Amino acid sequence: MDLGIAGKWALVCGASKGLGFGCAQALAREGVHVVLVARGAPALQEAAQRLTADPALPKGVQVLHVAADITTPEGRAAAFAVHQDYDIVVTNAGGPPPGDFRDWDREAWIKAVDANMLTPIELIKATVDGMAARGYGRIVNITSSAVKAPIDILGLSNGARSGLTGFVAGVSRTSKLASANVTINNLLPGAFDTDRLKATMEGGAKKSGKSIDEVRQLRMKTIPSLRFGTPEEFGATCAFLCSRHAGYITGQNVLIDGGAYPGTY
């Protein structure tokens, strides 16, 4: 299927690896010019080189990268300095650490809310009116399956991302945006094979005294697909939500979790 987005411009945050990279790769393979953002310059540069060398990329696709912390006003300014009129924005800034809510002070909460709620809201604010004026816009927020099925030790994530989800539910349904072909959706990953998941597995192994492989196998058994998802699968879903064909899908929370969420709705 031709997604009909060749020549569009996408800002992809948290894109040097993992799910963000998967989204950037899928979009670039559709002919979308991509601007990759992450804090660590060497990994980001390596990711941009890997993408540019991808034989599946159509000719002429531009791959730019900006080493910046997207959760800061300066970082966002840097992302908009290389390109302004984005047609597609994928928001993502890593996830807050796990822990016990008794240990989290105001500063920990502000950091989580800043990264996982206010930053996507700032990026939406900076782009949707221009998208509406041009008649095309797609925002995809990478959130978490924890929005639907909260995980006790991920209270910072549960709380901050729920705030974003409530905001998106309202703003995406305003007719000024929806009637102008601007959609805003959240993509909710379950367990995906990325460095973040590896770090969680290492933590689990340390705590339980089991090997990392044992912890991996046990976790996979809790998922009906009996495996973790791949960044490529995640990216393909993101690219579809950004496509011309998805103009009637807005305000949705799209779970991509191998069947792990146990509910009907």
Binding site for ligand NAP (CB under 6 A): 13-20, 37-40, 43, 69-71, 92-95, 142, 144, 189, 191-192, 194-197
* C-beta closer to ligand NAP: residue 20 or 182: 20
- Joined together, the tokens standing for residue 135 give 């008649």
Q: What is the DSSP string of 55-66?
A: TTSPTT--EEEE
* C-beta closer to ligand NAP: residue 13 or 128: 13
Helices 119-134 and 155-171 cross at an angle (nearest 10°) of: 20
Helix (H) or strand (E) holding 103: none
Nearest distance, CB of residue 248 and ligand NAP, angstroms: 26
Q: How many residues does the chain have?
A: 265
* C-beta closer to ligand NAP: residue 129 or 260: 260
Nearest distance, CB of residue 44 and ligand NAP, angstroms: 7
- Joined together, the tokens standing for residue 163 give 């705030």
Nearest distance, CB of residue 264 and ligand NAP, angstroms: 21
Give the separation between CA 155 and CA 165, rounded to whole angstroms: 15
* C-beta closer to ligand NAP: residue 39 or 83: 39
Nearest distance, CB of residue 254 and ligand NAP, angstroms: 13
Give the separation between CA 165 and CA 187, rounded to whole angstroms: 10
Nearest distance, CB of residue 38 and ligand NAP, angstroms: 4
Task: Summarize the chain as % helix, strand, coil (round to 5).
Answer: 50, 15, 35
Give the separation between CA 174 and CA 128, rounded to whole angstroms: 11
SS3 state at 9: strand
Task: State the residue for tokens 């393979």.
Answer: 29
In the chain, the amino acid numbered 255 is: L
* C-beta closer to ligand NAP: residue 141 or 180: 141
* C-beta closer to ligand NAP: residue 180 or 258: 258
Nearest distance, CB of residue 130 and ligand NAP, angstroms: 22
Nearest distance, CB of residue 195 and ligand NAP, angstroms: 4
125, 164 in Cβ contact below 8 A? no
Give the separation between CA 42 and CA 67, rounded to whole angstroms: 9
* C-beta closer to ligand NAP: residue 123 or 182: 123
